[in-house]
Every structure is written in structure tokens, then in C-alpha cells.
Amino acid sequence: MTILQAIILGAVEGLTEFLPISSTGHLIMASSLLGLAPTEFVKSFEIVIQLGAILAVLVVMGRRFLVDRKVSARVLMAFLPTAVIGFILYKLIKTFLLGSAAITAVALFLGGAVLVAFELWHRKDASPRTDLAAMPPAHAVTIGLAQAIAVIPGVSRSAATILAGLALGWSREAIVEFSFLLAVPTLAAAAGLDLLKSGWRFSSAEYGLMAIGFAVAFLTALASIRWFLRYVKGHGFTAFGIYRMLAAVAFWFIIVT
């Protein structure tokens, strides 16, 4: 991996992590287009640079996560299902799922179709829930279970949590904020587990590339988060669904076939 490739992947991570379009899927596609083989380092790189995105969330809304204990408790409740499933399936995820371009393309397309269908059939609640501090524990766990589906590359952690929250009657603004906050423990745990499992067996040059990817992911995630928070106030997610399907088709014909 070159410095330029690290910068490109960092930008892809930061721009896509919090949008319902699957950052993992886009990283896999970008890596393939850049000619990077799915080595252990590349897979770890794609996981570790998510820490840059986490830092961006903490900068934008860290006070909400660190000070409001009730909201933090709901976030941790939602995190637990993903933590358990991710830990149990870690080897399967990294060995087979993260290296499968076909699975990524199919999941990306199907996820886009679900987004479009949801927007067509979902009727906005006249009085949506907005107070995250009062979220019922059952809702938090349900959203966490939905997030766990995103261990399949291409599904999108953001899309899964947002759709689950909307289905439970939460406002777009509230569930998007909750999805951002839920990313903090989820991505931190994924990166920590990967570094632990890999045994830190990377060279100084490889750690340097990770640092570059981290920095770029942080800066681009800052812009992406702020833009998305403004976007959801007056827009739905149909455009993201259509984009996902088009990207999946292009990915399939360019890389998979």
C-alpha cells in the first residue's frame, strides 16, 4: 500500500461511515479498484482507520455521549448484541466475509432496495419519539440487533440502525444521532479486537500508513457528519438507496465478473 492509497481509503472511510451506503462495502470496492489484495494488513487497515471516524463523532457530539448518562446507557444496551455477535463470528467475518466482493455487491444492492422500499411504504409517525434519554431498553436492544446484521459487508451499520429506529417510531434526527453515538463503542471494539487478534504484527511503515488513513478519515468524517445532520432534517433516504443499487451493479460488472 502506498501513501496515496492510504489517503484515498481514509477519505472513503470518513465520507461513507455515517451515511447509509456501507463504508465497509465502499472500502472493499476501493481496495479492489486500487489493486490492493485483501491481505491481513489491508483488512486490519480498513478496520483501524474507523477510529478516525470515531474521533470525529466525539468532536461533534462527544458531550452528549459522555455527559448524558441515560443516553450513554441506551447506547451501551444497543452495543451489546453487536459485541457478542461480532466476537463470536470474528474469524468468519475477517476470513470470508471481508474478502468477498460478490457478497459485498449483493448486500449493497439488496440494502439499497430495502431503503427505497422502506421510504415508499413507511408512514411517518405524527408524533415521533425524540428523547433518546427515554428510549425503552427493548428499543435499544432491537436497534443493536439490527446493527449486528451489518457484520455482512455491504449491509451498512448506519442503514440498519436508522431503519430499525424509524420502524420503532423514532424521528429521523433522533435515530441518526443515536446511530452516530452507537458507532463509538462499536467501531472502537472492532478496531481493538482486530489489533488484539492480529498481535500487533505490523511494521513501522504499516503503522505509519494506518496513521495517515486515521487522520484523513477523521477530517472527512467531520464534514460528512455535519452535512448528514443537516440533510436528514428535510430529506429521506431514497437517493441513498438508488445510489447503492447503481454502485452495486457497477461494482459487480467492474470487479466481480
99-132, pLDDT tens digit by residue? 677 888 889 999 999 999 998 887 776 678 889 9
Q: Supply the pLDDT for residue 252.
A: 86
pLDDT at residue number 137: 94
Residue with cell 476501493: 30
Write down the pLDDT at residue 200. 66
Mean pLDDT of 229-239: 89
Q: What is the pLDDT of residue 109?
A: 94
Q: What pLDDT was estimated at residue 79? A: 93
Q: For residue 256, is pLDDT > 80?
A: no
C-alpha to C-alpha distance for 122 and 28, rounded to whole angstroms:
31
pLDDT average, residue stretch 222-250 = 92
Show contacts of 117-123: CB within 8 Å, 24+ apart. Answer: 118/163, 118/166, 118/167, 118/237, 119/236, 119/237, 119/238, 119/241, 120/238, 122/166, 122/167
- Is pLDDT of 173 > 70? yes
Residue-level pLDDT at 10:
95
Ranking 105-114, 174-183, 185-194, 238-247 by mean pLDDT, the lowest is 185-194
* pLDDT at res. 81: 87
- Is pLDDT of 199 > 80? no
Phi first, then psi, for residue 141 (nearest 5°) are -65, -40
Per-residue pLDDT, averaged over 75-86, amounts to 87
Number of domains in the chain: 1
Report the sign of the C-alpha dihedral through residues 191, 196, 198, 200, in that order.
Answer: positive
Reported as a single tens digit per residue, the pLDDT across 42-78 is 878 888 888 899 899 889 887 766 667 889 899 999 9
pLDDT of residue 6: 95
Parent domain of 72: 3-256
Return mean pLDDT, the chain.
86
Please report, for residues 22, 97, 147, the alpha-carbon distance to residue 150 in angstroms, rounded to integers and kept in the order given. Answer: 9, 11, 5
Q: Distance of CA 69 to CAs 2, 64, 115, 134, 165, Å?
A: 42, 9, 32, 11, 20
